[in-house]
A and B are shown apart, each in its own frame.
Chain A
Amino acid sequence: MIEGIFVEGLIYSIMALGVFFTFRILDFPDLTVDGSFPMGAVVMAACLHQGVNPVTGLLLAFAGGVLAGVTTAEIHNRLKVPHLLAGILTMTMLYSVNIRILSNRANLPLLRVETVLTKIHAWSEGFISAEWASLIFFLLVVILIKKGLDLFFITDMGLMFGALGNNEQMVRTQGVNPAILKSIGVGLSNGLVALSGAFAAQYQGFADVNLGQGIVVSGLASVMLGEFLLRSNRISILTLRVVLGTILFKAIMYLGRYYGYYINMTPNDLKLIAGILIIISLAAANIRNKKEKNRS
């Protein structure tokens, strides 16, 4: 079970990194995530059933997420709609789109098709158990994505995203169109989210259009939990704590699912717990900020 927590934590941390990108770096609270996560899952599932190479499937899932994110950003940019509403619009539309992608079905099992994981398992059979092979595989994937993001955020373009989240005027003063940056940023973020969804579908063995319900809340809770673990202004630490936060969040959810019955909790209460975690995090952050203000 402990491997399970880590594997799920790692898979969902890719999504949390996307949420971190929009919420924390871009200051663009993006709710598209609830639609782009299942979109990644259903694109992947559809590809696998069509016999498409799993790696191509992952790339297509990523591209689908990018497209979803760009849609949200463009609705916001062109129609001057608040980001939250733009995200909700895309998310709602994606529900129908996702069902279309699954050829008018709400879910699709992946038990009889070859996935990235079945390939890995076939290859590692004999050395280590399937669960550990998954763990090592996802650890490598997450390290790769995290390192990539760390590098990306210190490039000229990456720094510009930070500036956008802090001070949009500064971006304009630099001669950069904030609208284009938003499209790129929200696009990339949802690409990551969809990639996470594609991995989640393969790990769970099915894709479901309802996979995304409350995903943005769990991602945000993971990001916030991580912020209590480490304090720094270095980007490598900021991304690391997103990953750690997601694993911690998954661990809390596991505890809730398996031991919650001691306090009469059912799995249906998990979303409530996720929400309460965010509220506690917000309250704690508020108290901490106040303390710091008093000190200076």
Chain B
Amino acid sequence: MIRLEKVQKTFGLGTAGEKTVIRNLDFEVEKGDFITVVGSNGAGKTTLFNLISGSIFPTQGKILIKGKEVTRDPEYKRAKAIGRIFQDPLAGTASNMTLEDNMMITSNKGFKWPKISLTRTMRQSFQEQVKQLEMGLESRLKENVNTLSGGQRQALTLLMTVTSNPDILLLDEHTAALDPRNAELVMALTKRFINEKGLTTLMVTHNMNHAIEFGNRLIMMDQGEIIIDVKQEAKKQLTKKRLIEMFSEIKKRDFENDEVLLTS
């Protein structure tokens, strides 16, 4: 589904502040994979997502999506295949527009012509979709999105992203900005939607329990490299303790100051 070949990303190339955030990365994602991505701040997790979605381009190397090279394609050209959710609940919706407008905007991808698709049947189907969230939003389709709470907005963003049927779902700490109750709620919805649709997913998380509990593969990034990659059966056996041991073995250094452990 996604293949990165010897991808390198250096910011400020040729300046004093030159910094390589992704180093010679080879990485392949199979169709139907649900990969959790962990690593401390600055490990390159978000940069990896930015490279896949095309909001930045690699300094070296190739990126392929669905077998097609997209290394230099701008973000909007790849967007048909990719659904991305950010940490900020405001990033996925248009605040000053109604729920139904937002849902209409995200209901199909690609260039939009001036034709009216927001019909009664469309509104009814939005209502049905929103019911799945069990947040009582079905009666609020004509309200602006900025009247919703952060948790509701993120749940709505998730719903809108999933119903646009992307090939790849990128979740960038999408529950980190929510309170614990809403975070669990959005996480449960995430799991349900991914299972229902069999979506190929990459999820960055700082929550070690989530990283171990969810998905069929776990990668840990450190200083721009994937240092741990646990798949399938091995992933099922994985515990937090084992993961920490693996990290210490590889890096010959302790884990203690990494905030990966902060949310346990």
Contacts and interface: CB of A to CB of B under 8 A. Distances in A.
> Is chain B a partner of chain A in the same complex?
yes
Interface of A: 151-152, 154-160, 162-163, 165-167, 169-178, 180, 233
Given A172-B79, A175-B79, A162 B97 contact: yes
Nearest to A184: B114
Given A155-B112, A174-B76, A176-B76, 10 more contacts: A155-B114, A157-B113, A159-B101, A167-B90, A169-B91, A170-B106, A175-B109, A233-B96, A233-B97, A233-B144
Interface stretch (B3-11, B115-123, B174-182, B249-257): B115-123
Interface residues of B, number: 39
Given A154-B118, A163-B97, A170 B77 contact: no
A157 B164 CA distance: 17
A167 B114 contact: no
Contacts of A156: 104-105, 108, 112-117
A152 B114 contact: yes
In the A-B complex, list the 8 residue pairs whose CB atoms are closest, starting with the nearest: A166-B94, A175-B79, A156-B112, A175-B109, A155-B114, A157-B114, A157-B112, A172-B76
Given A155-B114, A176-B110, A170 B93 contact: yes
B75 A172 contact: yes
A160 B143 CA distance: 18
B98 A233 contact: yes
Interface in B135-163: 143-144
B114 A175 contact: no
Main secondary structure of the interface of A (DSSP, over half): helix
Nearest to A167: B94
A86 B144 CA distance: 32
Contacts of A178: 76
A184 to B, nearest CB: 10
Main secondary structure of the interface of B (DSSP, over half): loop
Which of A158, A166, A180 has the most chain B CB atoms inside 10 A of its CB?
Answer: A166
A155 B96 contact: no
Nearest to A151: B116
Contacts of B55: 172
A157 B111 CA distance: 8
B87 interface: no
Nearest to B83: A173
Nearest to B104: A159
A166 B98 CA distance: 12
A187 to B, nearest CB: 14
Nearest to A174: B109
B20 interface: no
B97 A155 contact: no
Given A152-B114, A155-B114, A156-B113, A175 B80 contact: yes
22 contacts: A156-B114, A157-B112, A159-B97, A159-B105, A160-B105, A162-B97, A163-B97, A163-B105, A165-B96, A166-B95, A166-B96, A167-B93, A170-B92, A170-B105, A173-B75, A173-B84, A174-B105, A174-B109, A174-B110, A175-B79, A176-B76, A233-B143
Contacts of A165: 94, 96
Contacts of A171: 76
Contacts of B92: 167, 170, 173
A154 B116 contact: yes
Interface in B6-39: none
